[in-house]
Amino acid sequence: DTFTRNRLQKKTERTCAMIKPDAFLNAGKIVNAIVRSNLRINQLRMCKLTQQEAAQFYAVHSERPFYPKLVDFMSSGPILAIEIVGEDAIAKWRSLLGPTNSETARAERPDSIRAKFGTDNTMNAAHGSDSDETATTELDFFFGSGRVGQCANLSDCTLCIIK
């Protein structure tokens, strides 16, 4: 019946992934990992967050001792924001990421993205939304009408890594 069918049907979800500044030069490999694992990329953009934008993105952590360091790191270089769509996309992407701390990831999940491309507890290569609600907020942050992190103009562009 409909009830059983709905219960057994896996849900198509969208999630917000972000390749953080420390892994920007490995973005190709991380995008490849997304595509290989049966997830689809619906939107993708490159930008650089200001300190204020990084602070807003991680506002939920504003009282934590690591917040100032996290904001500095997240605004230190270009990032790639990605909208991922697929069955169980939120959990699947977080599983591909591995544990938050890259050192833990190397010990427990050596094949994970954070194990391969991250450094420590702060510089951990990539982000993934932790729920439907945060996915909606974060996707709006990067892809909504008031989207953040645009280049002001070309001569002012700080994204170019080939000087």
Residues 6+ apart with CB under 8 A from 137: none
Binding site for ligand UDP (CB under 6 A): 61, 66, 70, 100, 121-122, 124, 127, 130
Query: Do the Cβ atoms of 130 and 96 come closer than 8 Å?
Result: no
Other C-beta atoms lying within 10 Å of the C-beta of residue 141: 20
100 annotated as a binding-site residue: yes
Kindly tell me the sign of the dihedral angle through the C-alpha atoms of 119, 120, 123, 129: positive
Identify which of residues 1 and 133 has a Cβ nearer to ligand UDP in the complex.
Answer: 133
- Angle, CA of 44, 159 and 70, to the nearest 5°: 80
- Cβ 126 to ligand UDP, closest distance in Å? 8
3 annotated as a binding-site residue: no
66 annotated as a binding-site residue: yes
- Cβ 155 to ligand UDP, closest distance in Å? 32
Identify which of residues 39 and 129 has a Cβ nearer to ligand UDP in the complex.
Answer: 129
Identify which of residues 39 and 54 has a Cβ nearer to ligand UDP in the complex.
Answer: 54
Total number of residues shown for the chain: 163
Task: Report DSSP letters for 47-113, one per residue.
Answer: E---HHHHHHHTGGGTTSTTHHHHHHHHTSS-EEEEEEEEETHHHHHHHHH--SSHHHHHHH-TTSH
Is 61 noted as a catalytic residue in this protein? no
- Cβ 27 to ligand UDP, closest distance in Å? 17
Identify which of residues 37 and 122 has a Cβ nearer to ligand UDP in the complex.
Answer: 122
Q: Which of 86, 127, 139, 142 is catalytic?
A: 127
- Cβ 7 to ligand UDP, closest distance in Å? 28
Q: Which residue ranges make up the annotated binding site for ATP?
A: 20, 66, 94, 100, 114, 124
* Residues catalogued as catalytic: 127
